[in-house]
């Protein structure tokens, strides 16, 4: 049996690190097994869904390298859901209810005050045809609830192990709203059946839904798929991310300049026993994926860890891979430049700063204490400079001034680059070139 999974985002906002982690786990699981990753746009809420958000989902998945084998819009499939509704109605599993939200609220309060669980009392089931006709002439429209069997629904969850939900402790879920709109619960099951989904992988916040949905699979005469409910992402402080998710959109990470491989490597490995380091590719991550590695604790989304993974990717990036991007930002100063500066990058765009140090103009930084070393260095600067210059030259400056260690190198770095940190000076000096180096040592902006 080929594994087939689905990622079902709602196009009511941009994807963020929380929902993309779910998508990524689906992708890795399916790809690792040579299976199919289905992108299913959950746009049954026609009012809140937009084409722009739908396009955004595709842009983000494509950027991350998460290709899909099949793609659907739920909004194009209402006829299939309508047919399932007829079957559930005929089986007596879907019934109309007429309560207004205020009435339900009041009933819940009364139940709670009596120490009873706030479960829907199934008043809708007791209505006669006459009652219903009367309510409808009053202008009320029904919403439709699925009649739960009220039992222990159990499954072997790939992520959480043996799981159970007691549907007797739940209200019968509303599947169709008063305005006729489908809530997510039914279309999701109908599609999972129709598309042959073998594994439903989603966040732990769906565990209760799974109890009801397994009953719906059964009511529609289909064997439920396997389920995996993964822990939710938390921030570096251990707190839930829900309030911060707006700023954690994939779009934002892309604009901030993160490498897509850093994002997927970080997302795939947090909360697992794997080291937090970049993977060679998203396919390599798929090869490594196993639910068994996922810890039974929350996965922490830590921007500092992401930055470390990002930096590690750049530190190992060959010139050939960087070249086009360097050219696009007028930063292609040759392979020697790339190899000299890549260790100092956290984000690719940091290249610009080092290109400016090499090309100038740079205003040298020089304190009074630096001056004797810098003046001697200018006098001793050879006529031509290359990769071998630095060690012989600084050796001569040391012999002349007695300066050594930091006292020798820092004044030179500051004069030549205007900064007190940066790439290996032996590699940077020939890139700056003799003329500019001499000017900077003389205190000129060059
Ligand atoms: N659109 C739903 C969500 O994003 C899909 C849940 C599911 O995977 O079943 O929560």
Nearest CA to ligand 1 atom 6: 8
- Candidate of 24, 202, 224 to mutate for ligand 1, largest count of ligand atoms within 8 Å of Cβ: 202
The domain that holds 84 is classified in CATH as 3.90.800.10
Q: Both 169 and 86 in a single domain? A: yes
Which of ligand 1's atoms lies nearest the C-alpha of 209? 9
The domain that holds 393 is classified in CATH as 1.10.10.350
CA of 8 to the centre of ligand 1 (A): 5
Per-residue pLDDT of the chain (446 residues; tens, 9 = 90+): 899 999 999 999 999 998 999 999 999 999 999 999 999 999 999 999 999 999 999 999 999 999 999 999 999 999 999 999 999 999 999 999 999 999 999 999 999 999 999 999 999 999 999 999 999 999 999 999 999 999 999 999 999 999 999 999 999 999 999 999 999 999 999 999 999 999 999 999 999 999 999 999 999 999 999 999 998 888 888 888 776 776 789 999 999 999 999 999 999 999 888 888 999 999 999 999 999 988 766 788 999 999 999 999 999 999 999 999 999 998 899 999 999 999 999 999 999 999 999 998 999 988 899 999 999 999 999 999 999 999 999 999 999 999 999 999 999 999 999 999 999 999 999 999 999 999 999 999 99
Query: Domain for residue 219, yes or no?
Result: no
Q: Both 411 and 355 in a single domain? A: no
Q: Both 25 and 66 in a single domain? A: yes
Q: Both 266 and 252 in a single domain? A: yes
Q: Both 245 and 303 in a single domain? A: yes
- Candidate of 10, 211, 229 to mutate for ligand 1, largest count of ligand atoms within 8 Å of Cβ: 10
Output the pTM of the full model. 0.91
CA of 74 to the centre of ligand 1 (A): 12
Query: Domain for residue 304, yes or no?
Result: yes
CA of 283 to the centre of ligand 1 (A): 24
Query: Domain for residue 289, yes or no?
Result: yes
Query: Domain for residue 1, yes or no?
Result: yes
Query: Domain for residue 299, yes or no?
Result: yes
Contact 284/278 with Cβ under 8 angstroms? no
Give CA–CA dist 438/432, Å, rounded.
10
Nearest CA to ligand 1 atom 10: 9
CA of 9 to the centre of ligand 1 (A): 6
The domain that holds 20 is classified in CATH as 3.40.50.620
Query: Domain for residue 213, yes or no?
Result: no
Domain span holding position 337: 319-359
CA of 316 to the centre of ligand 1 (A): 37
Q: C-alpha angle 271/231/189, rounded to 5°?
A: 135
CA of 167 to the centre of ligand 1 (A): 20
Pocket of ligand 1 from Cβ distances under 6 Å? 8-10, 42, 184, 188, 202, 206
Q: Both 296 and 380 in a single domain? A: no
Number of domains in the chain: 4
Query: Domain for residue 375, yes or no?
Result: yes
Q: Both 91 and 125 in a single domain? A: yes
Which of ligand 1's atoms lies nearest the C-alpha of 7? 8
Q: Is the dihedral of CA 102, 106, 109, 115 positive or negative?
A: negative
Query: Domain for residue 421, yes or no?
Result: yes
């Amino acid at each position: 049996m080929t594994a087939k999974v689905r990622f079902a985002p709602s196009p009511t906002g941009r994807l963020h690190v929380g929902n993309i982690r779910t998508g990524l786990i689906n992708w890795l699981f399916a790809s690792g097994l040579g299976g199919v990753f289905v992108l299913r746009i959950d746009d049954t809420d026609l009012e809140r869904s937009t084409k722009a958000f739908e396009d955004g989902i595709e842009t983000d998945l494509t950027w991350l390298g998460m290709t899909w084998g099949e793609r659907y819009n739920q909004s194009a499939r209402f006829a299939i859901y309508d047919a399932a509704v007829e079957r559930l109605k005929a089986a007596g599993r879907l019934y109309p209810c007429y309560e207004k939200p205020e009435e339900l609220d009041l009933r819940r309060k009364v139940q709670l005050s009596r120490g009873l669980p706030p479960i829907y009392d199934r008043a809708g089931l007791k209505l006669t045809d006459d009652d219903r006709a009367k309510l409808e002439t009053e202008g009320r429209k029904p919403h439709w609830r699925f009649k739960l069997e009220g039992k222990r629904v159990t499954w072997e969850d790939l992520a959480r192990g043996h799981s159970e939900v007691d549907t007797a402790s739940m209200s019968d879920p509303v599947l169709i709203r008063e305005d006729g709109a489908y809530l997510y619960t039914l279309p999701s099951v109908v599609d999972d059946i129709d598309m042959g989904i073998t594994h439903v992988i989603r966040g732990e916040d769906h565990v209760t839904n799974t109890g009801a949905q397994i009953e719906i699979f059964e009511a529609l005469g289909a064997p439920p798929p396997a389920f995996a409910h993964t822990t939710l992402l938390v921030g570096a402080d251990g707190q839930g991310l829900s309030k911060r998710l707006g700023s954690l959109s994939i779009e934002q990470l892309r604009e901030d300049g993160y490498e897509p491989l850093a994002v997927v490597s970080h997302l795939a490995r947090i909360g697992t026993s794997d080291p937090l380091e970049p993977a060679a590719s998203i396919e390599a991550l798929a090869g490594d994926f196993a639910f068994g590695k996922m810890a039974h604790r929350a996965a922490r989304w830590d921007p500092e860890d992401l930055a470390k993974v990002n930096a590690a990717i750049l530190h190992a990036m060959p010139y050939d891979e960087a070249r086009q991007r360097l050219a696009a930002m007028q930063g292609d100063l040759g392979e020697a430049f790339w190899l000299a500066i890549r260790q100092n990058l956290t984000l690719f765009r940091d290249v610009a700063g080092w290109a400016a140090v090499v090309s100038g103009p740079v205003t040298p930084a020089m304190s009074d204490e630096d001056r004797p070393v810098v003046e001697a260095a200018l006098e001793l600067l050879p006529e031509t400079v290359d990769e071998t210059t630095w060690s012989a030259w600084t050796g001569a400056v040391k012999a002349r001034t007695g300066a050594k260690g930091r006292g020798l190198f820092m004044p030179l770095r500051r004069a030549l680059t205007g900064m007190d940190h940066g790439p290996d000076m032996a590699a940077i000096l020939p890139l700056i070139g003799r003329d500019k180096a001499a000017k900077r040592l003389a205190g000129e902006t060059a």
